[in-house]
Each structure stands twice: as C-alpha cells, then as structure tokens.
Amino acid sequence: MWRQITENEKHKEVDLYTFRLTFDGIRFTGNSSIKRIQSAQGMRMTVVSQSSSSSTWNTDVFEKLRQIIRTSPFSFEEIFKKMDEDGNGTISTGEFRNAIKALKLGLKSVEIDQLMSRIDTNSDGKIDWKEFMAKFKQK
C-alpha cells in the first residue's frame, strides 16, 4: 500500500489529497474501532481490530496474569507499588512493560501493550490504583 500511494516510493511524503484519495473510502468491519491512545509522543489514534482468535488470546493471557497476581504472596497494594517504579501513584506503559517482562511470560511488546490497554480503561496511558483493583480484585 505504501508503494502504491508513494508511486513506488518515488516520493517519501504523501500530501493530504493523496492520503484522502487512498483512505477515505475504507470502511471498518467486524470488531474494528478507532481508539485514542496517550503515548510519550502525545495523543494518537489507532485502529483496534480483534478477530475471535486475538480476542481469545487476550482473554487467556489476561486471565493468566490475573491468576499470577491473585496467587502472589504479596498484597495487591504491594504488587501495585512494585510496578509503580517511580512511586507517582500510577503505572506507566514503560513500568507495566518492565513488570510483565520480569514475569518471563514470553510476551512481545505489542502483546504487553494489548494487556495494558485492557487494564487502562480510561485510555490515559497509565494504570491507576482504581483501574488496577477493578481488574484484579476478587469479585
């Protein structure tokens, strides 16, 4: 697609006219949606598309993480504080990645980001105490 809109990469920039000509007619189907994500570079938008297999994967990995946290000998508060490396009361994307990588679950960064977005229900790029408890506390 990049080659098509850049005329086989002759131009490294795409003007608004060419962009709109290429993308205006696209329609999202299935479970696709547009989501706003706060990142270190600022607010950005992304297309979130889930097939039934990715949805199942998300559920399985999330449930595995939930079990790890629930069966830990540490309290929820201790786990949250350990993940919150800078002690500011929220778990950033970087802090969450570090914590999940330390569990050695073999997840890729994109998979960790999917978990993060599932926990970060207000999509502000951070997990606060309320969001953490809502996802991991025993019902």
pLDDT at 126 over 70: yes
Write out pLDDT tens, residues 64-120. 888 888 888 888 899 999 999 999 999 999 999 999 888 887 788 888 888 898 899
Whether the CB-CB separation of 126 and 92 falls below 8 Å is answered with: yes
> In the prediction, which pLDDT does 137 show?
80
How many CB atoms lie under 10 A from the CB of residue 79? Answer: 17
Whether the model pTM is above 0.85: no
- Cα(8)–Cα(23) distance, rounded to whole angstroms? 17
Specify the range with the lowest mean pLDDT, choosing from 48-62, 88-102, 123-137.
Answer: 48-62
pLDDT at 42 over 90: no
How many CB atoms lie under 10 A from the CB of residue 52? Answer: 9
Q: Which domains does the chain carry?
A: 51-136 (1.10.238.10)
> In the prediction, which pLDDT does 53 show?
46
- Cα(55)–Cα(52) distance, rounded to whole angstroms? 5
- Residue bearing the bigger pLDDT, 9 or 134: 134
> In the prediction, which pLDDT does 31 show?
57
Smallest Cα–Cα separation from 109: which of 93, 125, 122? 93
Helix boundaries (H) for the chain: 2-5, 16-23, 52-70, 76-83, 93-102, 109-119, 129-136
- pLDDT averaged over the chain? 76
pLDDT at 27 over 60: no
Highest-scoring range by mean pLDDT, 21-25, 27-31, 40-44, 107-111: 107-111
> In the prediction, which pLDDT does 52 show?
45
